Each structure stands twice: as C-alpha cells, then as structure tokens.
Structure 1
Amino acid sequence: MDIRIQQTYLPHTDPDAAIAFYRDVLGFEVRNDVGYEGMRWITVGPVGQPVGIVLYPPEATPGLTDDERRTITEMMAKGTYASINLATPDLDATFAKIEATNAEVVQEPTDQPYGVRDCAFRDPAGNMVRIAQAG
C-alpha cells in the first residue's frame, strides 16, 4: 500500500496573523489563500515538501452547535485543541531564530524522558507547535 500525508488541518482565528507566523516565522510557503463568505482557508507548507497544512476557520465546520463552537474557542485559547509536530536538523538554532520573533514559547529545547529533544511554541490561534531534533 502506498499512502502519504497530503494535508493536515489546524484552526486559525486570524488569517493574517496565521500567515505571518507560518510564512515569516517558520519559513513555510503560502500555497493557497481562499476566501469564502468572509472566511479564509490558507494552505502553507515547508518549501520543497509535498505535505500541506490547511489553516481553516473553525466556525466554518458544519454541524457544530453554539456550545461546541464555544468549547472549541476555549480549547484553542488554552492551546489544547490542535497541535502539530515538526522536526529540524538543528533544534537549538531553530529555537533561537523562532524565539527572536517573539513567538510564544511554551518550552525551551528539552531532552524528554521518552527519548526526544524538542521545544514548543504556540501559533497565533493557540495551536501547539512542537519541534523535535531530527535524528
């Protein structure tokens, strides 16, 4: 079987802040920016890699009740709704570069007890962005 990850989804609350973080802070390219009825879906991804991250407006999710939307908004604000794990060949240099942009640091580079060295930031919507030292 030949299956690969094409896209993954992360919610955003401010499309311009999301683009600034993923393009300007992480160095991803913006591949698509589609608006519909006042909302925007933005696809970003690492240069030269086929996988994309679709930054989507969570309020556009069909079938959600007002209570569910409120819960999602609260979870996003706490950074517990969505996350993504990335990897880099030089964690310390990557951390320093991202930290210099005043991105919200959640965890400095740390050797985890489960064998990974990683750090963590929050994107403008509160999503957890973990970056591990590539092996």
Structure 2
Amino acid sequence: MKQGIQVVGLYVRDQDEALAFYVDKLGFRIHTDVRNGDYRWLTVQHPDQPSFQLGLFLPGPPVLDAATAQAARELVAKGAMPPLVLAVDDCRAACNRMHAQGVEFTQDPVERYGTVDAGFRDPSGNGWKMIEVRSK
C-alpha cells in the first residue's frame, strides 16, 4: 500500500489575502479552489513540487468550533505556530526578489550551519524559514 502526504494546511485570517500572497509574492499557483456552502477548500502548489499542496484554510466549522477557531486565529496572528520551510537555491537572491514583491522579513539572510537562511511571515502571521539548499 502506498501512502504519502498530499496537503498540509495553514490557518489564515483571509483566504483571498493569503491566496494573493502565496501566488503573487511567493510564486505558488492555485491547485484547488472550491466551495461547499460557506466552506472553501483552497490549496496552492509550488511550481517545483506538483505533488504537494499547501491548504489555505479559515479556522472554523466544519473542523473547529467557534471558541477553538478564535484561539487558533490568535495563535497564528502571534506567530506562535511552527514555521514552515521554503528551500531555495540562493537565499539572498530570493530574499531580494521577495522584498521587491513586498514580503516583510523577520530575519535578514544569515550564514550559519554551513548555509544561509532568512525568516518571513505571511499576512496571517504564519512563520517561514527560507533555507538555501546547495547542490552537492
């Protein structure tokens, strides 16, 4: 039996705002955007990883009750969720390109552990580490 992770979800405060950030600023593309009543299933993909999707979901029904959804929104806004990692071949160049697109960085590129990394957050507060992956 084959198994694998297909979608990892992020809680966002506004799906349209998140979609614009991930598509226009980070270069992802829309994979799925469907509605079922008030619920919207929205996923994006990085162009170099077509088998993996990042879900951009609002905290709330049908997955979370109102109190839990509010607590989740507050945690995301504070940057308290674990960071995601974006691998790039040139961290400084990617940082410059993303700065030009309006991405706000929480950490400028730093050389450590034999590579270069930087940090940024999406408009909802989700933290990202961008790490330079050197080819061997």
TM bin (shorter chain): 0.7 to 0.9
10-19 or 74-83: which moved more?
Answer: 74-83
Between Structure 1 and Structure 2, how many residues are aligned?
133
Counterpart-to-counterpart distance in 1, 2:129 and 2:102? 16
TM-score (norm 2): 0.85
CA–CA separation in structure 2 for the residues paired with 1:4 and 1:116? 28
Task: Say if 1:63 and 1:25 are closer, same or farther in 2 by CA, change over 3 A.
Answer: closer
C-alpha offsets along residues 9-65 of structure 1, whole Å, 9 cap, x if unaligned?
111111111111111111111011122333422111111421110111111353546
| 1:117 corresponds to 2:122 | no
**Is the Cα contact below 8 Å between 2:25 and 2:102 reproduced in 1?**
no
Quick one: distance in 1 between partners of 2:3 and 2:75?
A: 31
Structure 2 CA distance, aligned partners of 1:42 and 1:120? 24
Aligned AA (2:89): P
Q: Which amino acid aligns with 2:41?
A: W
Change (3 A) 1:82 1:61: farther
Is 1:56 matched with 2:57? yes
The alignment-based identity, stated in percent, is 33
Question: Counterpart of 1:133?
Answer: 132
| Unaligned segments of structure 1, at least 5 residues | none
